[in-house]
Structure 1
Amino acid sequence: MKNNDQAKADKKRQQDKERQRAKRQRDAEKNSELGIHEYRVPLSQTESETLAELCAYRGGAEPYAAAEFIATLIRREKKRVDEEKKHLGQCDFCGEPLPMGCKNGLGIPKLKGVAECWYTREEKKLRL
């Protein structure tokens, strides 16, 4: 009798595993079709607590889910960066558009260290 019960329990666990695997596969395909990407971000205990506090504080009557809160932060930061870009213009020294112009398309500021170069004076303001 015990063997039969154990066999049924094992079979149910196996079916549950298979159902979950199929669900994960469907979800992955759906996300792929929608262009949704998942990121795993390790957070310290303090960061996790802060995230939970911010989700509750900014969520109003119902707290944000962590993913929703982070996605909202990304959209807001994008708007802020777009506004910053409008006001950057060009480097007074090399005449190239900012912030990428002074980097000469290589990712390395070609005149960093030269006092007149925008990167020497202003680049740190763009950092978080």
Structure 2
Amino acid sequence: MAKTDQAKADKKRQQDKERQRAKRQRDAEKNSSLGIREYRVTLSQTEADALTDLCAYRGGVEPYGAAEFIATLIRRDKQRMEDEKAHLGTCDFCGEPLPTGCKNGLGIPRLKGVEKCFYTRDEKKLRL
């Protein structure tokens, strides 16, 4: 009888594995079709504690989930970036559009260090 019970348990485990594999596959296909991507983030204990505190504080009555909080931060920072871009205009020194101007297409600010250049005066304001 023990062999029969073991065989049943093994069969059930195998069915559970297959069911989970199929569910992961369906979820992956659904997320892919919706354009959803999953990212893994490694946080220190301090960062994890801060995330927990922020989720509770910013969530109102119900705390945010970590994924919801991070997605909200991304959406808000994207809007902030768009607002900043709209107000940047062009560099007063070289006349190129900001924030990509002054880089001469090479990704390296060619006039950095010149007092009137955007990259000398204001580029750090765009960083987080």
**After TM superposition, is the score higher than 0.5?**
yes
- Paired with 1:5 and 1:94, the residues of 2 have a C-alpha distance of 80
Which string of whole-angstrom CA distances, capped at 9 and with x for unpartnered residues, describes residues 80-113 of structure 1?
1111111111111110010001122322112112
The equivalent of 2:48 in structure 1 is 48
Instruction: Supply the AA of the counterpart residue of 1:87.
Output: H
Instruction: Supply the AA of the counterpart residue of 1:111.
Output: L
Asked if residue 72 in structure 1 is aligned to residue 72 in structure 2, the reply is yes
SS of 1:102's equivalent in the other structure is coil
After TM superposition, the structure 1 = structure 2 runs for residues 14-93 of structure 1, keeping only pairs within 5 Å, are: 14-93=14-93
Structure 2, gaps ≥5 residues long: none
SS of 1:28's equivalent in the other structure is helix
- Paired with 2:21 and 2:117, the residues of 1 have a C-alpha distance of 55
TM-score, normalised with respect to structure 1: 0.94
The equivalent of 2:5 in structure 1 is 5
Q: How many residues align?
A: 128
- Paired with 1:11 and 1:84, the residues of 2 have a C-alpha distance of 59
Structure 1, gaps ≥5 residues long: none
Which string of whole-angstrom CA distances, capped at 9 and with x for unpartnered residues, describes residues 24-57 of structure 1?
1111111111111111000111111111111111
- Paired with 1:92 and 1:60, the residues of 2 have a C-alpha distance of 43
Q: CA deviation at 1:122?
A: 1.0
- Paired with 2:107 and 2:6, the residues of 1 have a C-alpha distance of 62
- Paired with 1:108 and 1:3, the residues of 2 have a C-alpha distance of 71
Instruction: Supply the AA of the counterpart residue of 1:50.
Output: A
- Runs of 4+ in structure 1 off by over 2 angstroms are none
Instruction: Supply the AA of the counterpart residue of 2:18.
Output: E
The farther-off stretch of 86-95 and 108-117 is 108-117
The equivalent of 2:104 in structure 1 is 104
% same residue:
80
SS of 1:101's equivalent in the other structure is coil
